[in-house]
Amino acid sequence: MMRVGMGYDVHKLTEGRDLILGGVNIPWEKGLLGHSDADVVVHAIMDALLGAAALRDIGRHFPDTDPQYKGISSIKLLQHVGKLLEENMYVINNIDATIIAQKPKLLPYIDTMIENVANALHLEANQVNIKATTEEGLGFTGSMEGISAQAICALTHVQDFMTDDRSGGCGGCCKENRR
């Protein structure tokens, strides 16, 4: 059975902080405010993965009240989420994420973001998709008050790859084997 999860995150833009998206430090006049590095796209991806596995959310695993996570790289947190999925015997099929930001232009950084996420989770780059869009000047992202991200993923449990002896030895895929 395939499991699907979705994640969403938003952080306020502020001066005096680095803008980190997908593990890439993007040179820009503002960065995102948060307890960690405030990487909204990685946070959305982590929530999607945790949700698909019914392992709650990033707030439960990495509370912003815990000083050990102050300023931490979200890529490190993503690696921990990957380990949790492995411990619970989940395989990631794919991840698709969208960053919503009026500025800066993110196209030059997307490939590196994809590589960073794929490497953190031991995936092939073709299992991860990250894209960016604007909201044409509308809303808090359009007025450059913040940046948000959405992500969706699909997981499969390792048991789903095993044959089920009760169905005739091949997971019910071959009716001749049931006779």
Question: Is residue 140 marked as binding?
Answer: yes
Question: Is residue 43 marked as binding?
Answer: yes
The closest of 47, 44, 42, 52 to 116, measured between CA atoms, is: 42
Question: Is residue 11 marked as binding?
Answer: yes
Question: Is residue 59 marked as binding?
Answer: yes
Question: Is residue 160 marked as binding?
Answer: no
Question: Is residue 62 marked as binding?
Answer: yes
Bridge partners for 133 per DSSP: 100
Q: Give the span between the Cα atoms of 97 and 131, in whole angstroms.
A: 6
Bridge partners for 43 per DSSP: none
Question: Is residue 86 marked as binding?
Answer: no
Question: Is residue 115 marked as binding?
Answer: no
Question: Is residue 80 marked as binding?
Answer: no
Q: Give the span between the Cα atoms of 150 and 123, in whole angstroms.
A: 20
Question: Is residue 58 marked as binding?
Answer: yes
Greatest alpha-carbon span in the chain: 70
Question: Is residue 18 marked as binding?
Answer: no
Per the annotation, binding residues are: 9-11, 35-36, 43, 57-59, 62-66, 133-136, 140
Per the annotation, binding residues for a divalent metal cation are: 9, 11, 43
